[in-house]
Structure 1
Amino acid sequence: MSSPTDQQLPQQQGPDAGSPASGSLNTKDLRRVLGSSLMGSVIEYYDFILYATAAALIFDKVFFANLGPGVALFASFGTLAVGYVARPLGGILFGHYGDRIGRKKMLVLSMLMMGFATVAIGFLPTTAQIGVLAPVILVTLRFVQGISVGGEWGGATLMALEHAPAHKRGFAAAFANAGGPAGGLLATFVVSGVSAATGDQFLVWGWRIPFILSAVLILVGMLIRLKVAETPVFQELEQEAARRQQKQRTPLMDVLRLHPRVVVLTLIASLGFYCCQGILTSWGVSVAVQSGVERSDVLNLKGVAAVFTIIVCFYTARLSDRIGRRTVLTIGGVGGILFAFPALYLMHTGAVWAFAIAVIVGNGVIQGFLAGPIGAYISEQFPANVRYTGASLAYQGAATLGAGFTPMIATALVMLAGGSYLFVGFFWIGILAMGLVAVRMSREGAELSPKRH
């Protein structure tokens, strides 16, 4: 069901991610590129997801303690949503310059911005110390985080995908996507370790340590990222533009004018992945703690689930190189629909084993199926000259609607239903069903051959 615009993609692309330019890299160079994409994403998402963990367990008590428990948690999740609102803007800004002056420059800038915002949160005075100014500054720093991570994903994905051979693009792009759960894993274990070490002082000053530690990670990440070369695809685009003496483009206008259908389909297709994340790893964490599961157990199990997500992510990404992105995404979507209500029931029991099943199967396996091929799936829908902008706009738009607002929506739906999670289940299934339809309406981007079927 591809539109005429979709069918013209190969001609519009110019240099493609599977062009011979990618073959000029030796194995060592390719390993460096993939390692840089993974490490950079780990650091960015450590910072970003660290905030999500703090929003679920800490900030309602530190910055909104003057509100009632339910309202304080809602307000805390509201600051979390600010970062997701900023992500599409970050995707547009970084995508614009990433498509015009290069992927690498934007990745260096995004890491610097994220490091500044995260460390600043670690030193931020509480509401008890400076009043309402504290949550105002917190929201501002969260906005900067959102801009940064909004530009990170597209650049990290394209650095990997555009360096890789055509038949390994799915696997290569997964290195950027795996940075999300890996960064979440690191953030979870750091918070858990600091919580255990500081005990009763955790909510007083201990929570600041994981944020301040980001400075060390940023320094390591910058040393790695600066050694990686610009992608061969972008280099060819620059050379082609110079030969033709082309005028400076506006990638966003090109995307919206030539590829609006692709933007909508890829955005909807990505919603299921982020809805799972929002329900299971943000809202579900607070539900489990409120239901009686120990905070340390919740954080540790969340970390274990992240390990499963990383493993499944790489497996399904490689699988998508063989059987197609759409097939793998369909399996994940169907699995999510079937597991939605069982997961919600398990999260509300108050039993450690029940939460373990919910988060490992839901976040580890199902989200892994959705996360593995999503980077390559989205990127391959757009031509190379607007790929950073188009892919970032769709993916970050889904992040905003899916993960950014899902915890707030779930909290509101539970209150609306008088404490029942019935509405949350229907909401979750509806998002996954929409994603399935969008995936099936998209074209297949993987370059499959009979040998790989």
Structure 2
Amino acid sequence: MTSVDTVEHPGASDPDYAKNLQRATLASSVGSALEYFDFALYGLSTALIFNLLFFPQGDPAMATVAAFATFGVGFVARPFGGLVFGRLGDKLGRKWVLVITILLMGGASTLIGVLPTYSQIGLWAPVLLVILRLLQGFGAGAEQAGSTVLMAEYAPVKRRGFFAALPFIGIQAGTLLAGVVFSLISLLPKDQLMSWGWRVPFLLSFVLILIALFIRAKLRETPTFVELEKHDQVQDKPVKEIFTKGLPGVIVGIGLRMAENGGSYMFQTLSLAFFVSVVGKNADKGLLAWGVSLGSLIGIFSVPLAGAISDRVGRRTVYRVGAVFMLLYSFPAWWMLSLGNTWLAVIVIAVGIGIAVNTMLGPQCAMMPEMFGNRHRYLGVAMAREISAVLAGGLAGVLGSYIVAVSKGDWLLLAIYMATLALITTCSTFLVPETLRRDLLRTDDAVKVSRSETGDGVEATTQTITKVDA
């Protein structure tokens, strides 16, 4: 079965289309900025502050592992949030679900800024931190999937890769803002940083919530979901469908995300903890955080560029280049981090985030929504993104910090770990068909399982997609 896009966009004839495309881009970008501001900030704080303030200090190394465990808890909650809100997004529409998730995610992040510490309330401090981290992850579980689907469904077909990547500038902006803010507060005297300075960035989340709510309240529903409603094709049981017909796409999507998501959090958080273990307490933590900031600054340009290139040469090609680059970069990167040179570490982290990770993120923005049919697209993207977030990003912090603790900072083990994630993603690019310019009104998935007519059982088949210039 073949199909082509024969129309530029379902909403192209609407005189308000350009205005709504701009509004959708802004709404998605602000939400992405808030999510990644919170997560990057939490990651930076995990390695350098939370391990000291929220956990007993009998064994500092194990306190760091425990702190990263709370970081991982947020990832555990994300698939459940994606399941709940992804289902609602496919039944009720994309717009209002994104309003709910921004409130839940941003509200939890703001409350972290007012939590009492271990010295004030004992074991209740880590308990409350875990609860808020769970709520933060639950809301984030559908936020990024919703932003991805929203922009892919709004974007013009021939430039879908570029437009779908634009909101992910919000990811870079949020991560950049977190890195800059953290670097600035690190300039405070240690007693002020540990007493009140670390709280300020979390409290700033409230400002981003207000901005996001104002924009999203005026957003119109996506043209593709409007078409579903018009033809009475809204799926009543998207959960059942995604774990049957849509399961192959979810599995491949998880594989595609292992290097991008896992590599991102290894460079953003684990690299800092590893560097501190190498250099010791005298490590310049504020300066080191500039590596994350610089990588995010590069990403503001590299993400939309990678998305635009994928509009010309295909999603898989660009994605595969990013995965292979990370595979080759893993060993020299962690070896250079082990040398203990702060400026070299800043460059290593910046290249890892800005080039390796974001070369995959650029085409992913359009590729993920193109992989799933219209009736369960939101849920499919959410499940692929958030299950992989547990297996890649969440596990990277816990397992990585444990490796650092028990191996006394053996860089080779961390390099092997990152290379394994990159290898999984590289292999996954061979399991998905090219999705460039796929019609998003289609209800079937790009990756699917059909029953063999030869009696050999069930075999995986990929759908041929014919590409034409609109």
Q: TM-score, normalised by structure 1?
A: 0.92
Alignment of 1:17-416 (within 5 A): 19-24=9-14, 25-197=16-188, 199-241=190-232, 249-292=236-279, 293-416=283-406
Distance 2:408 2:9 in 1: 57
Distance 2:333 2:345 in 1: 8
Residue deviations 1:275-315 (CA, integer Å, cap 9, x gap): 21121111001222333341111112221111112211110
Distance 1:265 1:115 in 2: 30
Distance 1:250 1:325 in 2: 30
> Comparing 395-404 with 290-299, which one deviates more in the overlay?
290-299
Cα offset for 1:18? 5.9
Distance 2:207 2:7 in 1: 33
Q: In structure 2, what residue type is equivalent to 1:43?
A: L
Distance 1:92 1:128 in 2: 37
Distance 1:356 1:17 in 2: 46
Corresponding residue for 2:455?
Answer: none
Distance 1:204 1:295 in 2: 17
Cα offset for 1:67? 3.5
| Overall identity of the aligned pairs, in % | 34
Q: In structure 2, what residue type is equivalent to 1:392?
A: A
> Comparing 125-134 with 352-361, which one deviates more in the overlay?
352-361
Residue 84 to residue 423, structure 1, CA distance change in 2 (3 Å) = same
Q: In structure 2, what residue type is equivalent to 1:189?
A: V
Distance 2:35 2:266 in 1: 21
- Preserved CA contact (<8 Å) 1:289 1:298: no
Distance 1:17 1:183 in 2: 35
Distance 2:12 2:83 in 1: 26
Residue 48 to residue 419, structure 1, CA distance change in 2 (3 Å) = closer
* SS of residue in 2 equivalent to 1:258: coil
Corresponding residue for 1:436?
Answer: 426
Distance 2:190 2:150 in 1: 42
Cα offset for 1:225? 1.5
Q: In structure 2, what residue type is equivalent to 1:357?
A: I
- Preserved CA contact (<8 Å) 2:83 2:383: yes
- Preserved CA contact (<8 Å) 2:86 2:378: yes
Q: In structure 2, what residue type is equivalent to 1:222?
A: L
Corresponding residue for 1:4?
Answer: none
- Preserved CA contact (<8 Å) 1:321 1:446: yes
Q: In structure 1, what residue type is equivalent to 2:243?
A: L
Q: In structure 1, what residue type is equivalent to 2:303?
A: C
Cα offset for 1:36? 1.5
- Preserved CA contact (<8 Å) 1:171 1:314: yes
Distance 1:82 1:403 in 2: 11
- Preserved CA contact (<8 Å) 1:158 1:379: yes
Cα offset for 1:451? 6.7
- Preserved CA contact (<8 Å) 1:88 1:392: yes
Q: In structure 1, what residue type is equivalent to 2:428?
A: A
* SS of residue in 1 equivalent to 2:430: helix
- Preserved CA contact (<8 Å) 2:293 2:350: no
Q: In structure 2, what residue type is equivalent to 1:360?
A: A
Q: In structure 1, what residue type is equivalent to 2:366?
A: A
* SS of residue in 2 equivalent to 1:405: helix
- Preserved CA contact (<8 Å) 2:265 2:393: yes
Residue 28 to residue 72, structure 1, CA distance change in 2 (3 Å) = same
Q: In structure 2, what residue type is equivalent to 1:175?
A: L
Cα offset for 1:400? 1.3
Cα offset for 1:19? 3.9
- Preserved CA contact (<8 Å) 1:60 1:76: yes
Q: In structure 1, what residue type is equivalent to 2:105?
A: M
Cα offset for 1:180? 2.0
- Preserved CA contact (<8 Å) 1:108 1:226: yes
Residue 120 to residue 17, structure 1, CA distance change in 2 (3 Å) = farther
Distance 2:190 2:128 in 1: 27
* SS of residue in 1 equivalent to 2:372: coil
* SS of residue in 2 equivalent to 1:442: coil
| Structure 1 spans left out of the alignment, 5+ residues | 1-6
Cα offset for 1:104? 0.6
Q: TM-score, normalised by structure 2?
A: 0.89
Alignment of 1:6-17 (within 5 A): none
Higher helix share: 1
Residue 129 to residue 37, structure 1, CA distance change in 2 (3 Å) = same
Q: What is the aligned length?
A: 438
- Preserved CA contact (<8 Å) 1:22 1:163: no
